[in-house]
Amino acid sequence: MEEKLREELIKLFESKLSKPMQMYLETCSRCGICTPACHAYASMPQAKYTPAYRAEVVRRIFKKYFKLQGKIAPALGAAKVLDENTLDELYEAAYSCTGCRRCMVYCPFGIDTQQIMSIAKLLLIGANAEPELLTMLADVSVSKGEGIEDMKESFMQGLKRLEDQVLEKWKMEAGEMEAGETPIPIDVEGADLLYVALAGAHSIIPAAAVFNAAGEKWTLSFFEAVNFGAFVGDPTKTKLILDRIVNEANRLKVKEVCICECGTAFRVMKQMSGSQPFEVSSITDVHAKYIREGKIKLDKSKLNLPVTYHDPCQIARNGGVIDAPRYVLQQLGADYRELSADPKYNWCCGGGGGLVAMGDETHDFRMKSAKVKADQVQQTEAKILATACENCHAQLSDISKHYNMDVEVKYLSSMVADALIQ
């Protein structure tokens, strides 16, 4: 590796050294208590899949360039020079970690492996060694935002095609609709709620039906919720993708920004948007609120099969939305079974951190590392596996195919929309 590149990478590393990060890097005593916490290790017991080992890959570089110990006696802490080999190790560590933070619950100090892996991801970007696909997706996403004026037309056209399907789920009487109102309102200034969806019908239709049924004054965002910048670990792109939603929300003066079923999008919006004049909520929270306030009524007789719910890591353990989905399922009349007695110990689906978006490239690893997840689901004997995250949904669908599981993977929001009583 050229000296100049190495220096740049070390600068990038330094840019990540916040107070907590410095402490995470200094503290690990390599006690190994985190070892069984990782789904990858639990499914494939190899040392490289233990959280402490992954973090140590980054920590060794830290010791080399930022610690006196690594400068005086590098052998003591096995400090490592940053070179091509180390980059390979960083790749392996960062892209076999889904950032679920289950290990953080095990660690006696509470070290956040996802944070440490964010250094690995940033170094890989700096060395042009990150997964091309994720950068491509982040660039496309950024570009869509920049060209939003040109694309509004085709976006609206695409939406028009969905309106009938929204009306199928929830009929709006002509009288109910005020002038200019449509089943999928967009760009409505003064609306109460801005719904940020994914660029796909499944994320818009059911949500629109429920909003309309609840009589919500809502408007759909021009932007997609998913933050590919966060997947690839690029802070600049993450912020670009986040900020345009924040700006749109402020321009439309909404009181609430509701994020669709996407774990990353929710956590980034909820925790990184700073202090804003609007609240950030997940669509599951909003649905639970509608039911509680009697704004929507659900048919309790529709779910005849046992149901379990997969807590998306970024929404539950890392985002705090835990009670709402359980309440919604109860109101759906579900024969509900918990996957994990304590939701903070739920196994990751194995698809987070951008792994699902990388598609076939990661399929083999995703299936093998999700063995524990498959077992966990099968133990509940549930026939319906609900979840509230696009990534988890895609991964769980792959798992159920791969392990021949007799279970149907469903979006919780779709289940709510399907059970609406007119």
Partner 1 sequence: MDTIYYLVLVPMIYLAFFVFSVGTIIRLINIWRKPKFPTTLQIYPEKKPSWLWTLFDTFLLNSARRHNPVLWFFLMVFHFCFLLLIIGHLELIKDFRILQIIEHEIFLGKGFIGLILSISLIFFLFRRFVSPTKDLSVPEDYYLLILLFLAVIFGSEMDWARTLYGYEEMGVEDYRGYLMSLFLLKPDISFVDAPGHSFMLVLHVFFANLFLMFFPFSKIIHSFLSLPLNKLRRG
Partner 2 sequence: MSDEINVDKVMDLKGMPCPMPIVKVSKGIKDVEVGQVIQAISTDPGSLTDFPAWARTSGNEILKTEQTEEEFVFYIKRTA
Composition of the chain by helix, strand, coil, percent to 5: 55, 10, 35
CB 227 within 8 A of CB 248: no
Class of residue 116 by CB neighbours under 10 A (exposed 0-12, middle 13-18, buried 19+): buried
Shortest spacing between CB 310 and partner 2, in angstroms: 18
Element (H, E) at 339: none
Other CB atoms closer than 10 Å to residue 147's CB: what's the count? 10
Shortest spacing between CB 139 and partner 2, in angstroms: 4
Distance, CA of 257 to CA of 246 (rounded, Å): 9
Q: Which of 317, 373, 393, 410 binds partner 1 (CB under 8 A)?
A: 317
* 174 binds partner 1 per the rule CB under 8 A: no
| Chosen from partner 2, partner 1, none, partner binding at 45 (C-beta under 5 to 8 Å by type) | partner 1
CB 209 within 8 A of CB 411: no
CB 296 within 8 A of CB 213: yes
Shortest spacing between CB 397 and partner 2, in angstroms: 10
The contact mask relative to partner 1 for 178-217 (x = CB under 8 A, - = no) is: ----------------------------------------
- Strand 256-259 relative to strand 218-220: parallel, antiparallel, unpaired? unpaired
Question: Which residue type does 79 have?
Answer: A
* Selection from 18, 38, 28 nearest residue 59 by Cα: 28
If the CB atoms of residues 116 and 226 are measured against partner 2, the closer one turns out to be 226
The 8-class DSSP code of residue 220 comes to E
| Chosen from partner 2, partner 1, none, partner binding at 151 (C-beta under 5 to 8 Å by type) | partner 2
Distance, CA of 112 to CA of 349 (rounded, Å): 19
Other CB atoms closer than 10 Å to residue 309's CB: what's the count? 27
Distance, CA of 269 to CA of 73 (rounded, Å): 43
* 144 binds partner 1 per the rule CB under 8 A: no
If the CB atoms of residues 92 and 418 are measured against partner 1, the closer one turns out to be 92
Shortest spacing between CB 419 and partner 1, in angstroms: 27
| Chosen from partner 2, partner 1, none, partner binding at 136 (C-beta under 5 to 8 Å by type) | partner 2
Distance of CA 342 to the CA centre of its chain: 20
If the CB atoms of residues 45 and 200 are measured against partner 1, the closer one turns out to be 45
- 324-353: which residues touch partner 1 (CB under 8 A)? 343-344
* 56 binds partner 1 per the rule CB under 8 A: yes
Shortest spacing between CB 50 and partner 1, in angstroms: 6
Q: Which stretch binds partner 1 (CB under 8 A): 267-275, 299-307, 362-370, 410-418?
A: 267-275
If the CB atoms of residues 105 and 151 are measured against partner 2, the closer one turns out to be 151
Instruction: List interacting residues with partner 2 (CB under 8 A).
Output: 133, 136-137, 139-144, 147, 150-151, 154-155, 157-159, 161-162, 198-202, 224, 226, 228, 357, 359, 390, 394
The sign of the dihedral angle between the CA atoms of 188, 190, 192, 197 is positive
* Selection from 365, 353, 360, 339 nearest residue 46 by Cα: 365
* 236 binds partner 1 per the rule CB under 8 A: no
Residues that bind partner 1 (CB under 8 A): 17-24, 26-33, 35-37, 45, 47, 50, 52-53, 56, 67-69, 72, 75-78, 101, 104-112, 115, 271-272, 274, 316-320, 322, 343-344
